[in-house]
Structure 1
């Protein structure tokens, strides 16, 4: 090849010498040059030329080491570096240079030595001492101070060392050493409080990680993961285990979590900025802009708050990971004790106790923080501890049934118990006097919509993830003594049709089929994923008892079948909010509907009495004559189960009665407002068009799939055809508008917005899925969508009819709401002092609210979707859990 190369291009240039001897020569030359420059320079920090020469030398050393690591043996440069301990000189030069660039290049040299995995640098005491001394002088408490990018490189280097320790536990003694027993005893005498003994000289690597564990971004991620590996190693080293128990690391971790929580604002506003372009469409088409945020409260959507919240939650996740990976019982129980005393009882509960609904946001803040904490946690011990304490459950004292094994861990446990004991009994903060139940119930009845929203969201999380803890605290219940279902398929059909008739009466038939299909899928997924469904869906011969966490400390609370008590305070608060659904703000309604559907998603909660009719109230019109003609027992039972019962109005479930009242409110509006049905249909069309545009904008090259026929044998309940054909809505039966609506139905996009899709953006929860949509015409998709949305929004915003204000009044002590329309109101007159006094007295007695017509129409569309969700819930539960008798 060299012959042909010379013929084609002349003599080839000689490559740089790279055999081991030549490479070693270059390495020694560079290293000696660095030493000479350093020794000749009196003040390195001020000599820019010397700094540049040494930096170039460090970079050359790093390049040679990396090149040698990729080359075949022998690796003479690495052997020379180990024998001459060049890292000591690198450490001293970089630490005394006070130059960030020099520090970065020194870190690169250390990284090259560690990554080479030769010469056992990580097993060398001198190397470990040199590196930790360098890091301590660079990023320690009395360090020179460097930028975040260099600090991140240093913490990443420490993380790499902990990774090697995790994989090779035998090198731990190099990085972790303990003082003599005499020194230990003296330190224990000097440090007698709960915080533990500070022993940075024993394990500087661990303390460096602790110092950086609260940071955001790469620094915090590397520090937390590295510290996690150290706690995981405690189960393999008794010395390290006892050292952690005696040290102040658990205190640092708990106080660090508390410090991050304290950075969160005491007052919080969960309102979107009204003038933002990112305001969800469903809020734009309401009176949302009229809601005023407290100027002293921090916005939930601000970048600063989101950054603080993300950091706090990431550190909380780090706690969870540590407890999950730590197999040392003493270390784990010591950490849990510190979490309980220093964070839960001394910080989290006092913030709950001090929250107020009248100071403009502190209740909103606490409720929101609790929701985010419980939503982020999955560790059974932490959940058990938090909910037992904050809900004041009676068996809180048995948070952990095990006691520490070692005397040191037991002593730390006792000192923490003494720490939480107040000097006087009256100073003791006791959740039995005021707890999370009191806060939630008071907040759901608040006059401030943000407080209501925050309380409803928190309730949803507790019901969805930790339903067992809500029983007896948030929810008043009574046990079920019979297992067989008493409800019948005939009653289910009647109830389904009744709820559907209300939904269609509210907002018409357009889009109901498609929306219902999507709700069936959503509810099936919701029910299958609920923690209480494991027992209901388990095979008969399998056990669903949750295994104890780490050999029996905490077992998830067992949820048996139960009824919701009629006088349950939380449920009554939900019904009170539901009764004012049309004037509630949109976010309140979205949170309210999610709480109710989440409540109904527990397979162990019977629906009788609150969502379904109690079977004891069934009345059958058929006599026993028909039954006498049937001789076969099986057919007789099937006939009985399929009979369609009736019941008295007083026997109707409270939720159904409330929805019927809302239907009456809408009927009053329909009778008084011209073109009511057109307004509702247009609003549904706006949502539908916007959703189609959003789907296409995400992937313009993908057409939206059409609904397909279900496979043979699948269970897909449909809306009864006779119900759709014989609707009793006046506008569809007797008015020209009803006929026009029926004619245009097949040409109108046939899906309405669901709160779960448009609303989840507002609520901050997880989406429940999207619905199949009809594909728009090819070539006109994007322009048609944009034109439709802009046109409809312009019509909505400029239509004076939709800005009309309508007042609703709920008399004091009454459970009905009156729609105060124009034809029922007396003509205005000049106010007098007596009139003002009477008006004030009336407002104090009655609950009077008002909203624009456009806002009410949006809420009507949401209400229809909510009722369709309830129908889907009834149908899926009946099929999935066998809750009704077919024979």
Structure 2
């Protein structure tokens, strides 16, 4: 019907919603009469806004005006009613009546009228300063519009901002700056300005957007998007660009972010609902603080992260380099230096202290953003990095010379404020020092939060990994590339460690799942060249750097791995995440900490002799498949530590005859629960993830692991555990290292549910039996089962499932070295899955990062 109405100019209907059957002149006459009625109402009773009859009459008139304008806009041109509304400036009368009545209905109808005129793009409306003043007055003073009316008013601001973005020529109607050059001395002498003056009279429309950017819902969305449009327009208007630099835009945005951060609780709050305990935690020893996989951060954290993402969008959309730099400078001085860094510096690590909270907040910040400039400012400052090992924005000298006076003045004022604040500098105590202290903390939440922070840096911002952990450049850039035979040896050694932990008949399938997951993760790590015209990055290396094995943070992680069986499950999951994140960084070599250095390989005498002479390409290819050996003194840190853990398991095998059966039963129970959880999640999820890593999510598959690990960077919701590895070639190139040695016979599986209540009670008591674990060395009596008469307090009975040997331990790792048998079984499965994950990362990494060669 609308199509034919546009074609013939009317339908003959008399409905108020349809076009009038009479002429355009009659419609115009009706429109003028209604406008005169509104003008008469304003002139006769301007001081009686509360009269119900008057308000009802105004509502009816506005309804008729909106109906006529709406009908006319659906018809063909010309549109005389729209033109009359512009020339008669009826919007002034409408604004006065809306503000005097303070009625939400009148204000909403007025907003609809303004919005209709803006959308119709009538000449003399959006580019008219009188219209701009009326709209600003309506939005500024309509405090009683209600939630719906407020959203309509802010939508008006968005509509204007969109028009300014599309047609910058209309900007003078809304933006009329004064000449402040003659007032520079007065401004500087006043001492009331900080890196920008409050100039609401210059651009009142802009400050209205600022007022609503913190709001939630539609109002906040419209305001934030409108502000982004205005900032984007600065690249096409030198006057607006200068005004944004000299105004207090950056100050308001930075202080607003700081205000939201200041509202965050300095103590973490955890869920106390036992029904929400992760299954893998329930089947082990846990304290009440570990009953939630993540702390409850509440609405304040949501508001802070929402505004932080707005910062990210602002920096992304701002096409003016000087405005962008001004925003980033204020972000660093007012938020990083004056708020975030002091909160880290002044945190306390006593029981219930704030260290775990502020580290968690920093972790969430780095999880949420991926804008290179913001990430660089945060980590470059907090890590006090002076090297060129991470991305640095290079500003050519010619651009520095051409820096505008406004930009220089902003920098000078900002620098003077930073000096006056006299805050401590990260050069004396930085994030590396805090991580080093926190990873050795006796407060489990602090250790877990620190490991999660390390993981985020390794996974999302691995450019800065070498600033967090000490590294050295490799003298020979190609020395990290190992022959195929050496790679196969490393893979077989790692798989051998896994097999010594558990005889798993589904090992091939489990390892295949980890290969798929490893490819999805490492595919995001492949180096991407910088965009043409984008920031210059000096961190793209030809070869990865080597970790210094004496680094204190790395040693702290190894110490936590050495106490694996006495650690809490939550801590072990965070710890293995950190090691996996380190192994996934293409800027960090695996040599020395996970794999044997290529210079430490020892080949047979005949192989070495042949390699030293001039040989043909075919012979070099054959030599590449020779498998080397190495001395025990060069075994890397992680495999050496895992071997010590396996020695403790061998002690328990000698003391507990059916230890392998119990481990297999625990694995079956954990996998069954994990599969049930995945099936419920897939049924409740109705649409795929729309994150930036969605393409990786489609390539990956949810691991069949019971560890409960769900990588926050890759929410793989649509994956299947049995999907084959596609598009990687990692599996076909090397084959599976599992087939290089024969499989052992599978151990019998214990039924998950005992046949009788007596058997269930006996099993429950047995799994709750305490075991003494020496976290440093394996003594001859280590692993012996303790009884109630042994002098150590037995673990309290479990409170969850039939097989849950959970004891309420107040710490992540027990100070007396006692854990329950159920806790040991669960951590054994976690260690087994961790080894498979590392092995898959090594294999897939060799393909994607080209760290393998076929000649020697």
Question: How do residues 866-885 of structure 1 correspond to structure 2 at under 5 angstroms?
Answer: 866-885=834-853
Distance 1:619 1:195, change over 3 A: closer
**Deviation for aligned residue 1:210:** 0.8
2:814 and 2:829 mapped to 1: Cα distance?
Answer: 27
1:626 and 1:640 mapped to 2: Cα distance?
Answer: 11
Match of 1:312 in 2: 304
Task: Give a deviation string over 1:746-791, Cα, whole Å, max 9, x none.
Answer: xx9xxxxxxxxxxxxxxxxxxxxxxxxxxxxxxxxxxxxxx999x9
Instruction: For structure 1, list consecutive stretches of 5 or more residues without a partner in the other structure.
Output: 1-11, 139-143, 536-543, 733-737, 749-786, 832-842
Question: How do residues 156-195 of structure 1 correspond to structure 2 at under 5 angstroms?
Answer: 156-180=155-179, 184=183, 188=187, 191-192=190-191, 193-195=193-195
Match of 1:198 in 2: 198
Distance 1:181 1:345, change over 3 A: closer
1:709 and 1:32 mapped to 2: Cα distance?
Answer: 74
Q: Does 1:48 align with 2:46?
A: no
Task: Give a deviation string over 1:209-260, Cα, whole Å, max 9, x none.
Answer: 1111122232222212111111111122222122222222221111111112
Residue 391 (structure 1) aligned to one of 383, 389, 401? 383
Contact 2:42 2:93 in 1 (8 A): no
1:798 and 1:823 mapped to 2: Cα distance?
Answer: 14
Q: Does 1:570 align with 2:553?
A: yes
Match of 1:251 in 2: 251
Tell me the TM-score normalised to structure 1 length: 0.79
For 2:527, what is the secondary structure of its paired residue? helix
1:667 and 1:342 mapped to 2: Cα distance?
Answer: 56
2:179 and 2:551 mapped to 1: Cα distance?
Answer: 62
Q: Does 1:420 align with 2:418?
A: yes
Question: How do residues 397-412 of structure 1 correspond to structure 2 at under 5 angstroms?
Answer: 401=395, 403=400, 405-412=403-410
Task: Give a deviation string over 1:365-394, Cα, whole Å, max 9, x none.
Answer: 221222222233333332222222111112
2:88 and 2:486 mapped to 1: Cα distance?
Answer: 89
Q: Does 1:153 align with 2:152?
A: yes
Distance 1:273 1:846, change over 3 A: closer
**Deviation for aligned residue 1:637:** 3.8
For 1:223, what is the secondary structure of its paired residue? helix
Residue 676 (structure 2) aligned to one of 686, 693, 699? 693
For 2:816, what is the secondary structure of its paired residue? strand
For 2:99, what is the secondary structure of its paired residue? helix
**Deviation for aligned residue 1:434:** 0.6
Match of 2:265 in 1: 265
Contact 1:162 1:226 in 2 (8 A): yes
Question: How do residues 507-526 of structure 1 correspond to structure 2 at under 5 angstroms?
Answer: 507-526=502-521
Contact 1:469 1:557 in 2 (8 A): no
2:27 and 2:80 mapped to 1: Cα distance?
Answer: 8
2:763 and 2:159 mapped to 1: Cα distance?
Answer: 62
Distance 1:281 1:61, change over 3 A: farther
Distance 1:826 1:599, change over 3 A: same
Question: How do residues 263-302 of structure 1 correspond to structure 2 at under 5 angstroms?
Answer: 263-269=263-269, 271-277=270-276, 279-288=277-286, 290-291=288-289, 301-302=295-296
1:818 and 1:35 mapped to 2: Cα distance?
Answer: 99
Residue 748 (structure 2) aligned to one of 724, 734, 740? 740
Distance 1:215 1:42, change over 3 A: closer
Question: How do residues 359-758 of structure 1 correspond to structure 2 at under 5 angstroms?
Answer: 360-394=352-386, 401=395, 403=400, 405-422=403-420, 428-485=423-480, 487-530=482-525, 533-534=526-527, 544=529, 549=534, 555-556=538-539, 558=541, 560-620=543-603, 633-634=616-617, 636-638=619-621, 640-673=623-656, 675-697=658-680, 698-699=682-683, 714-715=732-733, 717-721=735-739, 723-725=741-743, 727=744, 740=748
Match of 2:712 in 1: none
1:618 and 1:705 mapped to 2: Cα distance?
Answer: 36
Tell me the TM-score normalised to structure 2 length: 0.82
Distance 1:880 1:408, change over 3 A: closer
1:84 and 1:648 mapped to 2: Cα distance?
Answer: 93
Distance 1:179 1:546, change over 3 A: closer
**Deviation for aligned residue 1:669:** 2.6
Question: How do residues 208-247 of structure 1 correspond to structure 2 at under 5 angstroms?
Answer: 208-247=208-247
Match of 1:100 in 2: 104
1:390 and 1:182 mapped to 2: Cα distance?
Answer: 37
Match of 2:344 in 1: 352
For 2:546, what is the secondary structure of its paired residue? strand
For 2:274, what is the secondary structure of its paired residue? coil
Distance 1:185 1:419, change over 3 A: closer
Match of 2:697 in 1: none
Instruction: For structure 2, list consecutive stretches of 5 or more residues without a partner in the other structure.
Output: 1-11, 687-717, 794-810
Match of 1:6 in 2: none
Match of 1:773 in 2: none
Distance 1:830 1:375, change over 3 A: closer
For 1:514, what is the secondary structure of its paired residue? helix
**Deviation for aligned residue 1:830:** 11
**Which range moves more in the overlay, 217-226 or 608-617?**
608-617
For 2:741, what is the secondary structure of its paired residue? helix
Contact 2:46 2:100 in 1 (8 A): no
1:879 and 1:699 mapped to 2: Cα distance?
Answer: 35
Q: Does 1:854 align with 2:822?
A: yes
**Deviation for aligned residue 1:626:** 9.7
Match of 2:767 in 1: 802
**Which range moves more in the overlay, 392-401 or 579-588?**
392-401
1:418 and 1:631 mapped to 2: Cα distance?
Answer: 68
**Deviation for aligned residue 1:49:** 3.1
Distance 1:163 1:581, change over 3 A: same
Distance 1:208 1:511, change over 3 A: same
Contact 1:696 1:703 in 2 (8 A): no
**Deviation for aligned residue 1:522:** 1.8
1:710 and 1:293 mapped to 2: Cα distance?
Answer: 38
Match of 2:694 in 1: none
Number of aligned positions between the proteins:
779
1:796 and 1:661 mapped to 2: Cα distance?
Answer: 33
**Which range moves more in the overlay, 694-703 or 644-653?**
694-703
**Deviation for aligned residue 1:171:** 0.3
For 2:733, what is the secondary structure of its paired residue? coil
Distance 1:661 1:817, change over 3 A: farther
2:127 and 2:608 mapped to 1: Cα distance?
Answer: 93
Contact 2:376 2:392 in 1 (8 A): no
**Deviation for aligned residue 1:184:** 4.8
Contact 1:808 1:817 in 2 (8 A): no
2:514 and 2:849 mapped to 1: Cα distance?
Answer: 17
Match of 2:29 in 1: 25
Contact 1:803 1:852 in 2 (8 A): yes
**Deviation for aligned residue 1:176:** 0.5
**Deviation for aligned residue 1:572:** 1.0
